[in-house]
Chains A and B, each alone.
Chain A
Amino acid sequence: MNFNYLDIIIIVIYVAFIFFAGAIVKKYIKGIDDYLVAGRSMGFNLGLISLMCTEIGMITYVYYAELGYKAGLSALMVAVPPVVALLFLGKTGFVIKKLMEMKIMTVPEYFSKRYSKGVRFYIGILMAVGGILNFGVFPGVEAKFINIVTGIPEQHLLYTMVILLTVVLLYTLVGGMVSVIVTNYVQYVLLSFGMVAITVLGFYAIGWNGIVDSISTVIGDKGIDPFFPSFIEGEFGLGFLVWQILMWVSLLIGWQAMSARLFASKDAKTGQRIYTWSALMFFARAIIPIFWEIIAFGYYTNLGTASGMNGIDSLPNLIKDTIPHGILGLIFAGLLAASMSTYASYLLSWSSIVSQDIIGTIIKFSTGKELNSKKQLTVSRITMAVVMIFIIWWSLFHKVEGYLYFYLNMTAMLFIPGTLICISLGVYWKKARTLGAYLAITFGAIPPLLYLIFPDEILKYASEIGYGGFIVALIGMLIGSAIQNKYNPKKVTEVA
């Protein structure tokens, strides 16, 4: 073990505290609204904390670190697209204002109101598949990270992950979104402390010159200039930026784990403010972990041991090798906090899609009526347990090919292009129709599906596949709507 007794005591106290803090709020849950969107009572600062806790996990550190390892300082360019997307949505309220005013709980609900229940069911399936495949690699990747930092033998890691996930499951199961928000607050204290501490201590261990020298020597000019050899041809050039900005706009509208924060907000104005100010936090969320990896790269290059590591190993090794005991316990608690908060939110988000938009639709279709709030709550809880069992299983047997960052992007891309096109045209274009929605969702899912099936063969075309998904989704919407408007101009059946 790499921990001493002080480190272990800090971690045990943290996990116990989180469990009780999460479980104690059960008394506030009286219906499905309280459970899924905390009774729409979340304020601005709490919303910001909760959103950041959801979107910063150990997995975030790992995939950004992997990019930093492969692309050097140039990888820092990935921090720009989320900032552009958040400022755009926060300032203009594009689409999100309408969604918040509709008082929906999940994104697919919009599809039944604007298109049809069939479209809601279809996008719900794609969202659940994409979201759960995305979520499904978290435990495996994070187990490796924990293994290196703690020194827990690999054969015991499965038990470690199961215990961790069970704690998260238990408090999320009983307290839903209220538990998630309350525990997020405590978790953010440790998470933010850990992020700043690793940066300062790591930088102190190597210095700026050591970083630049090692990148220049090993990666060359393209490790410092993101547009090398040109803005058009560069790995982080025009194509990459267009794809990433489109993807981030779509994620912020259609990624349930993020948009749930909007739906839980007090009002539309609060939701927009949360997105605007999140831009600052999302910038740091990308810059800081990539910078850690660049520090690790320089540190191990100077020691002459970098060749024995890969992009995923060197960051946990840096934490283990440069952080003193006591602070290591606090930082590890911060890492656990980051992960547990992400697990809690993702479990709640994806299971809410399965229970509300898939199971709920099937039940309504077969019985002709909706479940009452209490039964919806029970279905949500059962679904959550099933989702957790699935991701543990998937994590054990699935190996990610290619960049982890691109795998995660592409699983989201299975439904993201269709979601953006259907919602934005649904809001701003009266002629958008159900057939167009079906085609947009289907066409948009094909390019990322190709990437997931043949990652090695088409890795170098990731950017083209990325923005191509949006183009074909738009074409699908235009063709489908045009056909339906021509042969069936009435919209009577599409109103929920």
Chain B
Amino acid sequence: MGFWEIYWIMNIVFAVVSFTIFSVYVLIKGYGEVKEMLKTLNDKAE
């Protein structure tokens, strides 16, 4: 296996794993922010 092959495997594994973990993280945290954003807009509208 040459340099570029190993390099691409590392890139692909890193991309898929980091995307999965980070997506789960931002979705969990983002839920609270959706509620907070709507509350802020609601308070402003009133």
Contact = CB atoms under 8 A, between A and B. Distances in A.
Interface in B19-45: 19-20, 22-23, 25-27, 29-31, 33-34, 36-38, 40-42, 44-45
A89 to B, nearest CB: 19
Contacts of A189: 27
B15 A284 contact: yes
A206 to B, nearest CB: 13
A39 B22 contact: no
A39 B31 contact: no
Interface residues of B, number: 31
Interface string A216-234: 0000000011100000000
B32 to A, nearest CB: 8
A281 interface: yes
Contacts of B45: 27-28, 30
B5 A41 contact: no
B12 A287 contact: yes
B27 A39 contact: no
A192 B15 CA distance: 12
The DSSP consensus for interface residues of chain B is helix
A7 interface: no
B37 A43 contact: yes
A25 B38 CA distance: 8
A208 B9 contact: yes
Interface string A332-362: 0000000000000000000000000000000
A46 B26 CA distance: 7
A392 B5 CA distance: 42
B12 A281 contact: no
A195 B12 CA distance: 13
Interface in A192-238: 192, 195-196, 199, 208, 212, 224-226
A48 B26 contact: yes
A188 B44 CA distance: 27
Contact of A192 (B5, B19, B42): B19
Contact of B30 (A49, A178, A224, A283): A49
A305 interface: no
Contacts of B41: 28, 34, 38-39, 41, 178
Given A181-B37, A195-B19, A199-B16, A224 B44 contact: no
Interface residues of A, number: 41
Nearest to B30: A45
Contacts of A212: 5
Contact of B16 (A178, A208, A284): A284
Given A196-B16, A291-B12, A45 B37 contact: no
A79 B38 CA distance: 35
A288 B26 contact: no
Contacts of B22: 277, 280-281
Nearest to B36: A43
A79 B37 contact: no
A76 interface: yes
Contacts of B25: 45
Given A28-B42, A73-B4, A284-B18, A49 B12 contact: no
Interface string A24-65: 010110100010001101111110110000000000000000
A287 B14 CA distance: 10
A182 interface: yes
Nearest to B9: A208
A291 B22 CA distance: 19
Given A42-B37, A288-B15, A188 B5 contact: no
B15 A188 contact: no
A284 B33 contact: no
Contacts of A208: 9
A283 B16 CA distance: 10
A185 interface: yes
Contact of A287 (B15, B29, B33): B15
A43 B33 contact: yes
A357 to B, nearest CB: 25
A224 B11 CA distance: 13
15 contacts: A28-B41, A28-B45, A34-B41, A34-B44, A39-B40, A41-B41, A46-B30, A48-B26, A185-B34, A188-B26, A196-B20, A226-B4, A284-B19, A288-B15, A291-B15
Given A46-B30, A199-B16, 16 more contacts: A28-B38, A38-B37, A39-B40, A41-B40, A43-B33, A45-B29, A45-B30, A49-B26, A49-B27, A185-B27, A185-B34, A196-B20, A226-B4, A277-B22, A280-B22, A283-B15
List the 6 shortest-distance A-B pairs measured between CB atoms, nearest first: A284-B19, A287-B15, A43-B33, A192-B23, A28-B41, A45-B30
